[in-house]
Structure 1
Amino acid sequence: MASKPSIPKGTRDFSPAEVAKRQYIIQIIKNNFEKFGFQPIETPSFENSETLMGKYGEEGDRLIFKILNSGDYLAKANVAYLDDKDSTKLTSSISEKALRYDLTVPFARYVVQHQNDIEFPFKRYQIQPVWRADRPQKGRFREFFQCDADVVGSKSLWQEVELVQLYDTVFTELGLKGVTIKINNRKILSGIAEVIGASDKLIDFTVALDKLDKIGEDGVKKEMIEKGIGAEAIEKVQPLFNFTGTITEKIEKLGLLLASSEEGMKGVEELRFICENVTKLGLSSAILDLDVTLARGLNYYTGAIFEVGPPREVAMGSIGGGGRYDDLTGIFGLKNMSGVGISFGLDRIYLVVEELNLFPETVTATSKGLFINYGDAEAFYALQAIQKLRAAGIKVELYPDNAKMAKQFQHADKRNIPFAVIVGEQEIALNSFSLKNLVSGEQVSLDFEGLKKALL
């Protein structure tokens, strides 16, 4: 007996209703991307390993899915590494490609590769799947979609202001009220590390600090100690673990804390510009909050950092994030190309909208009417009408088989099709249609124009 088929952990199949709901979210995001002036691009599902590795930090690199070389991939393997069972070093000789971890690094590669064909500043959006070898859990998958919007070729902080507005616009249209857009600045984190004398441990410091909401204050301190950050330095950052007040008050506190750090003060002024202008322009439903522990452990951020949390009544991780990455294209040989971007986590947004019951009923609407099949002559008569109705934008279909009436009506019921269109010998003779409301049971006889009006 054949074993029951399955799919890999962290991946999912989607039913027609689920796909319809996902497309509803994607369409809202896509429409707003274009409304804000972003243009679409697409990149391959996999990249050369050298394009991806080393761009996400040590933790990120471990989560990249490697693709084995075609054919006898062990033929060119380094024998010494193979004998030593050194998987880290062996990987580079048996795997030259990898599934993309996000859309930002491939975008940077795209910009460098096509720089002579791009008009800068270049505003692009991209809606495609990414893969991460993470431990699957609620809201965390190994295959998931990202919806990114990025601008390269401009250092203007107005871009950050507009990206906050873009987040607010999309979540407002989705009906998600109380979404929190957290903001910080990588220069502030660098400044804090400098002030406490831990500049050489910046990456370890930020990666640990970024986990505050997951492992708590004690957990962060423990990880910092394990990474070689001294107790005295940790004591100096103690105020960050309970950093409260309005955005303005937090910025003033940071100004005092980082007064001796030139880099840190640059971050304070950038934050002040973004937050003040967002506040003046106003947000429809989102909440902007300054979170000094926000680090987003990725090596390529150099300025503003964003992370979006769902409404408080939903237990879910971040549903979006991004930031400024002045140096990213420099990794691929294109210097002085500043960029900033944000991402929407489609899969988590779906779960939040579903939990809050915010999907409109029309999203999963199926065909408006099912034409009952009585035989070939009746089916041909029905298809002539169906052709015209579809041309008018009305979703209708013909049951393909001349099956029992009960079976055809049962099919319409299971598909949530609200109307059945009956065309028998009598209807053909009168050039008419019998329309039955499958909810109320009411049945009426109509000409084509009446049918069309009833199904609109």
Structure 2
Amino acid sequence: MADKPSIPKGTRDFTPLEMARRNFIFDTIRKIFTTYGYLPIETPAMENLSSLMGKYGEEGDKLLFRILNSGDFRSGIAREELVSAPAGKLGNMISGKGLRYDLTVPFARFVVQHRGEILFPFRRYQIQPVWRADRPQRGRYREFYQCDVDVIGSDSLLNEYELVCIMDDVFTALGMKTVIRVNNRRVLAGVVEVMGEADRMTEITVSIDKLEKVGMKGVMEELREKGVGAASLEKLQPLLTRKGSNRENLDFLKGYLEGSAAGKGGLEEMNRLLDYLEADPPQAEVEFDMTLARGLDYYTGTIFEVVSDEVKMGSICGGGRYDDLTGIFGLEGVSGVGISFGADRIYDVLEQLDRFPAQATMDTRVLFVNFGEREAMHVFPVLGRLRKEGIPSELYPDPVRMKKQMSYANARNIPFVALMGEEELREGVVTLKEMASGSQERLTPDALVRRLSVQ
């Protein structure tokens, strides 16, 4: 017997119902992106490894899906090297491309490559899948969609304010209660400087970023294993345990970071951002989180993370300011800021809360019963009119028993069934049955279009 077909771990198939719900998420996000004046782009699923490597930190590089060179990937490599070369070196010898890890680095490459064709500041959105060779678990997949929105070519803090508004508008439109966490990488740089570990910014912030997962004890233990001294850890501890309002925490850091120019600059940006938000408060709670690190090397200023206030799921949106991401591709001094919505985790939250609206699960609005070929010929013009009005409609393909056709409509959650049998054809009407109530009404084709246009 043939093996049962399967798909790789960390990937998924999507049923029509799931696709309808996913499209509800994508359409909601896309509508808000365009409302704010952002323009769509797409980039290839694969990028040259030279574009990807070194942009996500050591841990991120390990999660890149590499693509073997086409043809005989061993061509030109001595047998001894194939056998004895270290894994990292061998990987570079047999693979020159990889699946994109996120949409931000490909966006930076896009900006540099097309800089003569775009107008700065450039506002773009992008909704495409990304791939990470991560260990699959609840809410974490190897293939998943990101919905990114960025503005590049401007260092104004008003862009950060606008992104908070976009996050708030998206999650409000999706019916989700969220917490928007904000911090600043310059604040973190100041913290590391006060600790006396200024040259270890990346490895220390990678550990701090795990606070929610492993707790303070786990973070401190990991930093000890990295060789961070007891005196430095003692200076860090108050930040990991401190509670207070946004303004109270900013006031605390004002004294804590007194000796750090970078830290004070980050605090000034945080104060200004909170001033903007207090002028027109968002519906979501905005929390200044001193431990938020966003463990990607390219962030340089404000950073964001959004979590559900109702379901424990991890980050469902995140991003931040990157001052010179395009510099790695030869275009220096171009600042940008952006955020990325995790559509798959958003789906999981909405599903767990049973928060998808009815229209997100509905496809066909009316099913015409098939009485036979003669009657079907009269159905065609009515179907055509409904479809031209944007009303999803279909004719059951076979003239089988009425009960079977009705059961099909029920199983598909089709709200209306239309009948055009001999009697209806004589009178020039359509009998419309509402499946939920069982009520029936006779309508002319014009009245049928008007009736089904009402949601």
TM class by smaller structure: over 0.9
**How big is each residue's C-alpha offset from its partner over 1:19-67, in whole Å with a ceiling of 9 and x where there is no partner?**
1111111111111111112111111111001100100000100111001
* Structure-2 residue corresponding to 1:250: 249
> How far off its partner does 1:429 sit?
3.0
Deviation (angstroms), 1:251: 0.9
**TM-aligned CA deviation for residue 277 of structure 1:** 1.5
Task: Sort the Cα spacing of 1:168 and 1:438 in 2 relative to 1 into closer, same or farther, 3 A.
Answer: closer
Match of 1:278 in 2: 277
Counterpart for residue 58 of structure 2: 58
Deviation at 1:93, TM superposition (A): 1.0
Q: 1:197 is aligned with what amino acid? A: G
- Alignment correspondent of 1:217: 216
Q: Could you tell me how far 1:428 is from its partner in structure 2? A: 2.5
Match of 1:298 in 2: 296
Please list the CA deviations of residues 108-153 of structure 1 after superposition, one character each: whole Å capped at 9, or x if unmatched: 0000001111110111111111011111111111111111111111
CA offset digits 1:95-119 (Å, max 9, x no partner): 1110000000000000000111111
**Inter-partner Cα distance in structure 1 for 2:267 and 2:437:** 64
Asked if 1:417 corresponds to 2:401, the answer is no
- Preserved CA contact (<8 Å) 1:371 1:420: yes
1:220-231 correspondence runs (5 A): 220-231=219-230
For residues 289 and 64 of structure 2, the distance between their equivalents in structure 1, rounded to whole angstroms, comes to 28
Distance 1:216 1:171 in 2: 28
Residue of structure 2 aligned with 1:447, choices 426, 430, 444: 444
| Distance change >3 Å, CA 387–CA 228, structure 1 → 2 | same
RMSD over aligned Cα atoms? 1.4
What does residue range 397-416 of structure 1 map to in structure 2 within 5 Å?
397-416=394-413
How far 1:206 moved relative to its partner? 0.5
- TM-score normalised to the size of structure 1? 0.96
Shift of 1:411: 1.1
Other-structure match for 1:171: 171
Whole-angstrom CA distance in 2 between matches of 1:136 and 1:78: 36
1:116 counterpart SS class: coil
Residue from 370, 375, 380 that aligns with 1:378: 375
Q: Following TM superposition, by how much is the alpha carbon of 1:440 offset from its aligned partner in structure 2, in angstroms? A: 3.2
Specify the code of the residue in structure 2 equivalent to 1:419: F
Distance 1:78 1:189, change over 3 A: farther
For the 8 Å contact 1:21–1:359, the answer to whether it is kept is yes
Residue identity in the other structure for 1:269? E
Query: What is the one-letter code of the residue matched to 1:66?
Result: R
Closer, same or farther: CA 86–404 of 1 in aligned 2, 3 Å: same
The SS at the match of 1:125 is strand
Partners in 1 of 2:162 and 2:53 — Cα distance?
31
Whether the 8 Å contact between 2:367 and 2:414 is mirrored in structure 1 is yes
Please say if residues 181 and 307 of structure 1, whose CA atoms lie closer than 8 Å, have aligned partners that are also in contact. yes
Question: 1-side partners of 2:67 and 2:327: how far apart?
Answer: 26
Matches within 5 A, 1:52-451: 52-77=52-77, 79-84=79-84, 86-177=86-177, 179-283=178-282, 285-311=283-309, 313-451=310-448
Cα drift, residue 168 of structure 1: 0.9
Q: Distance in 1 between matches of 2:368 and 2:419?
A: 6
Moved more, 413-422 or 74-83: 74-83
1:293-343 deviations in Å (ceiling 9; x for gaps): 1111111001111111111x3111011100000011001000010011111
Preserved CA contact (<8 Å) 1:47 1:98: yes
| CA deviations over 1:386-414 (Å, ceiling 9, x no partner) | 11121122221101112222221221111
Tell me the SS of whatever aligns to 2:154. coil
- 8 Å contact from structure 2 (residues 127, 145) kept in 1: yes
Distance in 2 of aligned mates of 1:150 and 1:262: 28
Structure 2: 5+ residue stretches without partners: none
TM-score (norm 2): 0.96
In 1, the alpha carbon distance for the partners of 2:377 and 2:254 equals 77
Change (3 A) 1:111 1:399: same
Q: Secondary structure at the match of 1:237?
A: helix
Aligned-pair CA distance for 1:212: 0.8
Relative to 1, partners in 2 of residues 1:431 and 1:15: Cα closer, same or farther, differing over 3 Å?
same
Partner of 1:362: helix, strand, or coil? Answer: helix
Distance in 2 between the 1:437 and 1:271 partners? 55
SS of residue in 2 equivalent to 1:149: strand
Is residue 48 of structure 1 aligned with residue 45 of structure 2? Answer: no
**How far apart are the structure 2 equivalents of 1:353 and 1:30?**
18
Q: What CA distance in whole angstroms lies between the structure 1 residues aligned with 2:254 and 2:437?
A: 68
Cα distance, 1:442 vs structure 2: 3.5
Amino acid in the other structure paired with 2:332: K
- 2:314 aligned counterpart, secondary structure: coil
After TM superposition, give the deviation of residue 78 of structure 1 in Å: 5.5
Aligned equivalents of 1:191, 1:446: Cα separation in 2: 72
Instruction: After TM superposition, give the deviation of residue 430 of structure 1 in Å.
Output: 2.9
Give me the whole-angstrom Cα distance separating, in 2, the residues matched to 1:431 and 1:362. 31
Q: Which range is displaced more, 78-87 or 339-348?
A: 78-87
Work out the CA distance in 2 between the residues paired with 1:403 and 1:212: 62
Aligned length: 453
> Quick check: 1:78–1:90 contact (8 Å CA) kept in 2?
no
Q: Is the 8 A contact 1:322 1:342 kept in 2?
A: yes
Structure 1 residue identity aligned to 2:208: L
Aligned-partner SS, 1:2: coil
Identity %: 53
SS at match of 1:292: coil
Contact 2:20 2:363 in 1 (8 A): no
Greater CA drift, 163-172 or 431-440: 431-440
Inter-partner Cα distance in structure 1 for 2:411 and 2:200: 60
Report deviation, 1:85.
5.0
Question: Cα 1:57–1:440, aligned 2, differ >3 Å: closer, same or farther?
Answer: same
Is contact 1:76–1:94 with CA below 8 Å preserved after alignment? Answer: no
Amino acid at match of 2:225: E
Q: Quote the offset at 1:201 in angstroms.
A: 1.4
Unaligned runs of 5+ in 1: none
Deviation at 1:79, TM superposition (A): 4.0
1:81–1:87: 8 Å Cα contact kept in structure 2?
no
Letter of the 1:287 counterpart = E
